[in-house]
Amino acid sequence: MQNKHQRTRGRRHGQGGTVFGIAAVLALAGLTATATAAPTAPSTPAGPSAPSPDGLTRPAARVTLLTGDTVGLDRTGRVVEVRPGQGRSGIGYSVRRFAGHTYVVPLDATRLLGSGRLDRRLFDVTQLVEDGYDDAHRKQVPLIVSYDGSGTVQKGARESLFAAAADVTHRLPAIHGDALTADKPDAGKVWRALTDSVGGRAAVTTAPGIERVWLDGRVRISAQDAVAPDPRGGVARIGAPAAWKAGYDGKGVKVAVLDTGIDATHPDLKGRIRKAKDFTDSGSTDDRQGHGTHVASTIAGSGATSGGKYKGVSPGAELLVGKVLDDTGFGENSDIIAGMQWAVAQGAKVVNMSLGEDDTADVDPLEQAVNDLSASSHTLFVIAAGNSGPSDSALGTPGSAAAALTVAAVDRDDKIASWSSRGPTADGRLKPDIAAPGVDIIAAKAAHGTEGNDEAPGYVSMSGTSMAAPHTAGAAAVLAQEHPGWTGERLKSALTASAKTPRGVTPYDVGAGRVDLTRAIGATVGSEPSSVDFGTPDPWPHDDDTPVTRAVTYRNDGSRPVTLDLDLTATGPDGKAAPTGMVAVSPARLTVPAGGTARATVTADTRLGSADGVYSGAVNATGDGQRVRTAVVVDREVETHTLTLVTTRKDGKRDNEPDVTVAGLDTGKQFTPYDDGKARGGTVTLRLPRGRYAINAVTSTPAGRYAQLVAPHLVLDHDTTVALDGRKARLVKVTAPDRRATLRAGQVVFAARGAKPAYGLSAATDFEAGTTFLGQVGPKAPAGDFIAQIGGVWQRTATSPAYNLVSTRHGGFFDGFTRAFASIRGMARVKTSVATALAKANTAPNTWWSTPGWPSLDQVISPLEGPLRPAPTSSVEQYLSADHGMRWYLGARTQNGTDGEGMVAFAAPRRFQPDRTYRVTLDGGVHGPIVTPTKVVGGLRVGRYYALCVPMFSDGPGDFSYSAQTTVHTRLTSGSKVIGDFTEDTCPNTYANLRAGTARYKLSITADRSKGYRISDHVEGVWTFTSANTPETRAVAWPLSVVRFHPKLSLTGTAKAGARITVPLSLQGPAAVKGQLKSLTVKASYDGGRTWKPVTVHGAASGKPHLILTNPRKPGSVSFRTALADTAGNTYTGTIRNAYRTVR
């Protein structure tokens, strides 16, 4: 079950739960984008960026891909570097961003994705970080591999994987595969074992015996906060007491609960647990989270602790407990599949799975396991729909599996819970199947659990589809006792057929309706299938449609015939009743013989009516005290046209596996039509609604010749064929004013505006001299709706001037491009100094540009890095394009020459005027913390969640600087309560567990750099402040302040010993506001922080605080310790050890 307030997955750290990025807590809209580039060499990774209104860029997280390549992401989730794995230099990669997720796909994996044999989640770096699969939290790449071919071939595939150091964690016969892990240093070897070359380094297929490769993804639960416990209780509302009275309480029926384990000591569960097994690394089946115990007692709890008040639906059932989710409420696909296999082997009649993850249009391993095990064992899998409503098509997997009984949640009034996930599934099928109570449900509390609100001794309340599923599983157990010979499919049909009729909702909300045991128990008539889903019977237009029929079979298990009156009511997309005859059932009356069946026909005639869209309703069959309900949906397609894409490679051969994205600029929907592996002759077809679209296509030959083709403005108002012909793409040729300068790094970028900011498409493609071929397909867009740019850095040698040149085109893409920059006229000249105290250091300048009015371009443009040169240096000379209002980020990555330890620094973006000269210094001065109030720096609160990002080593001017070799310890407390205690970088994460009301907090951060750093090697900060609860729609900055020191230092961070110097101070945060500084004191140490002496702060009253120091005659270091308080009672104390050194 998902949290209605936290809809992205996350990994818990310390005492707080986390999701990815401060952008998450701010609910920033994700931009839709794609990008392609070539990886930098291992010694020259792209560097991170600086604070800006939109964020702060740096490698806050690193992810090793299955291919062995590593990806660096900044604090906002943007890719800032890609380092090729061993032996993979020169293999390009693509970066695609949409729906808030970023995918980094090495080009040799593209064709496997296009064939459907490789799981795209393996390259979803956003989700990999969210799920704790980044390198800081996971040392292996987890995989699920399915096999094909003969037994000998499969054996060979397994042996190759074993030889590549892949370890088998689970055998998964349910999907004809294995779960594997590969240590990240061995990932490249495993990739080579999984693939075979088909003619070039960038063209591979799966190795013999390998059918498909998936990520062993993370599945989660997260209990919702109950608001007001349901006084009647869900068990009573679904009619369980009536079933008990009839003699059915699930006795003898085995129900498996695959969850977070169970508290076997709880009195309500005494004697109910038949077997229990741990599939996680928790070490026991004890429930230290609380979710599994709550779910299990909803199914089979005796209610002993409450005198029977909180009894489960089927208290006579026997529980099989599989702990497939760890103590933080997360689990991996393979653990869950292994638990499913175990449950079936133990004879479970019903399996409850109150868990899930985001669904995709492809069949994932969880869906496949549910479907295959259901068919082979006739076990019923009851699965929560998820809590990502109220949006359509938000239903999660494995609830999306066709065989599952998928459960939505309703409240005490049988109204759909706002957060309950709606259908259809990602591939357009009708789900959920049924609904059950899931709001404010009271059930057993685990002794060691942490979830839920205490309601009575031994009980907590929770909300979610996780709570609805066990009501349904318990109901299935009751029916299984009444009908021991029924299969899982019959149990599913009986429950949906007897469901209570919903009001004001569609089958995509609640399926057939709410579980009703009072109707299910004793019923002798049922129907199959459990629902009728016509899908889209005929394409638009509908004047020549053909009526389509589906059969509904009624079964009578009674001893005498039953006559049923049949009626079908349906509602159209306009909320009005469907036209007579559009969706109908015949005959109007039928008799079902005793012990026999009778068939009715449901007809959908989409020629009738005028409103296009989805029509939904149900067939209601009543008679002889029986009532049977079957949900019905039919899609009368809106104006839609066929888009046919024909892709041809640069060598003239058709391409069945290109990388193609079709973006709906009016709808925000995106399609990757070649990913299902069904293209033939380079051709695929899509049925798309009328509207505007943009297309981005990259096609390649086995020899590695790439062509990018872009359609900036396709208006789809009739059936259309688009030829994506790589032969028509032309070469890009750009030269710098220095004709001997060569291209060091470059990108081709574009952005197409959509009807809303999130609906656009943006991309960046690697630009390499002599190998980049571009072509526009179709007409141009209006000038304000599309922009394309070609940019790069040209340089003759590492110490020669660098030319950062950008050419811009509005309205259209490039059909090749040729330009020779004749002179530096119109460019800005920047002289950059790079400081460092590292020994034997080298530095590599970094730049990238930003174009006003096109924020989506910023999402895909990566830093351009020049070659390494000795550091420190004051002679970095750069020429920048200064037209179109461009803003430039200037930065540098510095590393020492002994062990590669490094530092990166970036200045905030700025506009440089043409034909002017500027001077910039990076990484100089005293390094210390900054709390500049941007979207990603400082502390932010939303409700009881918080995001924290305090860079501890920003350089003297306040530019963002980052030390790769840093140890950070962060601790947040409130009184005696520890809110969070972290030893990792907090910047990529969002945390929970703040106090509900107004409270005082203490934040402590300690950061240490390795011995290679001779200045600012140890920095501490301690803040005390007051924070109040906030609405979950508004982010409020924490009142954090800091003191910054600005002495004039050399590029190695030194000042002259014995000299008298002035040290200007600056404040950041609330204390910097005029009139809000209450007190400020500073101490200095000349012995590395062993002893401290007070220093007078001059000029504080005038707003120009500064120190006047006399450095000791003996060379050494100067450290600072400061304390301040603002008028609101917030305080800060900070220490910077060895802030600068003194030399003769």
Each residue of 129-186: pLDDT tens digit? 988 899 988 999 999 999 998 889 999 999 999 999 999 999 999 999 999 999 999 9
| pLDDT tier for residue 988 given thresholds of 50, 70 and 90 | low
User: Pick the residue with more confidence: 30 or 1073?
Assistant: 1073
Place 933 in a pLDDT band, splitting at 50, 70 and 90.
Answer: low
What pLDDT, in 10s, does the model give residues 646-667?
A: 999 999 999 988 889 899 999 8
pLDDT at 1006 over 90: yes
- Tokens 């220093």 label which residue? 1095
291 is an active site residue: yes
Q: Rounded to the nearest 5°, which phi and psi values hold at 712? A: -75, -20
pLDDT of amino acid 96: 75
CATH 2.60.40.1120 domain locations along the chain = 641-728
488-497 and 465-482 helices cross at what angle (nearest 10)?
110
What pLDDT is attached to residue 501? 84
Contacts 24+ apart (CB under 8 A), 931-935: 931/1040, 931/1041, 931/1042, 931/1068, 931/1069, 932/51, 932/958, 932/1068, 933/1037, 933/1069, 934/51, 934/52, 934/53, 934/55, 934/56, 935/22, 935/23, 935/26, 935/28, 935/53, 935/54, 935/55, 935/76
1012 vs 296 pLDDT, higher one? 296
Residue 594 CB neighbour total at 10 angstroms: 12
Please tell me which residue, 58 or 608, carries the higher pLDDT value.
608
- Dump pLDDT digits (tens) for 735-750: 999 999 999 988 899 9
- Helices then strands, each counted (H, E), the chain: 15, 75
Known active-site residue 134: no
Helical H segments across 924-1041, by residue range:
none
pLDDT of residue 59: 52
233 alpha carbon, distance to own chain's centre: 35
Per-residue pLDDT tens for 663-685? 999 988 888 888 777 889 999 99
Which CATH architecture describes the domain 641-728? Answer: Sandwich (2.60)
Q: Looking at the predicted structure, is the pLDDT value of residue 1130 above 60?
A: yes
CA-CA-CA-CA torsion for 129, 132, 136, 137, nearest 10 degrees? -170
Q: What is the pLDDT of residue 705?
A: 81
Higher pLDDT, 381 or 132: 381
Q: Which range among 121-130, 466-475, 990-999 shows the weakest confidence by mean pLDDT?
A: 990-999
Contacts of residue 453, defined as CB under 8 A and 6 or more positions apart, other chains included, come to: 225, 226, 460, 461, 462
Beta-sheet pairing, 273-278 with 640-648: unpaired
CATH class of 220-522: alpha beta
**Which residues have CB under 8 Å from 458's CB, separation 6+?**
266, 267, 268, 305, 306, 444, 445
Rounded to two decimals, the pTM is: 0.82
Rounded to the nearest 5 degrees, what angle is found at the Cα of 71, between the Cα atoms of 1005 and 864?
95
pLDDT score of 807: 96
pLDDT at 800 over 70: yes
pLDDT at 778: 97
**50-54, 535-539, 795-799: segment of lowest average pLDDT:** 50-54
Instruction: Please state which of the ranges 160-174, 937-951, 1056-1070 shows the lowest mean pLDDT.
Output: 937-951
pLDDT at 859: 74
pLDDT at residue 24 is higher than 50: no
Retrieve residue 941's tokens: 């609160």
Task: Specify the CATH number for 938-1143; select among 2.60.40.10, 3.40.50.10540, 2.40.128.690, 3.30.465.10.
Answer: 2.60.40.10
The pLDDT > 70 percentage for the chain reads 91
pLDDT at 220: 82
Catalytic annotation, pick one of 74, 178, 259, 858: 259
Beta bridge partners of 29: none
1052 phi, psi to nearest 5 deg: -100, 10
Q: Could you read off the pLDDT of 847-902 as tens digits, one per residue?
A: 989 999 998 888 778 778 888 899 999 989 999 999 888 999 898 888 876 555 56
Strand order in the sheet with 101-106: 33-37, 93-98, 101-106
pLDDT of residue 1067 exceeding 80, the answer is: yes
- Secondary structure of residue 1008 in the 3-state scheme: strand
Distances (CA, A) of 444 to 315, 447, 690, 767, 959: 13, 9, 53, 61, 53
The yes-or-no verdict on residue 22 having pLDDT over 50 is no
Q: Compute the mean pLDDT over every residue in the chain, rounded to the nearest whole number.
A: 88
Distance CA 225, CA 473 (A): 22
Please, what sign has the CA dihedral across residues 664, 670, 676, 677? positive
Count of CB atoms situated within 10 Å of the CB of 180 = 25
Neighbours of 1017 (CB within 10 A): 23
Residues of the chain with CATH 2.60.40.10: 938-1143
Q: In DSSP terms, which residues pair with 903 in a beta bridge? A: 894, 963
Q: Is the pLDDT of residue 2 over 50?
A: no
> According to the model, what pLDDT value does residue 858 have?
80
| Residue 1094 pLDDT > 90 | yes
Kindly indicate the confidence band of residue 231, based on its pLDDT and cuts at 50, 70 and 90.
low
Nearest residue to 290 (alpha-carbon basis) of 454, 483, 116: 454
Q: What pLDDT does 60 receive?
A: 66
- Which member of 334, 466, 862, 1119 is catalytic? 466
Looking at the chain, the domain(s) classified CATH 3.40.50.200 span: 220-522
Q: Check 291, 294, 927, 1018 and give the catalytic one.
A: 291
Residue 150: the pLDDT is 85
* 957 Rama sector, left if φ>0, alpha if ψ -120 to 50, beta otherwise: alpha
Could you tell me what percent of the chain has a pLDDT over 90? 69
Active site residue 542: no
C-alpha distances in Å from residue 229, one per residue of 90, 425, 438, 694, 1127: 60, 31, 11, 50, 43
Separation of first and last alpha carbons in the chain:
66
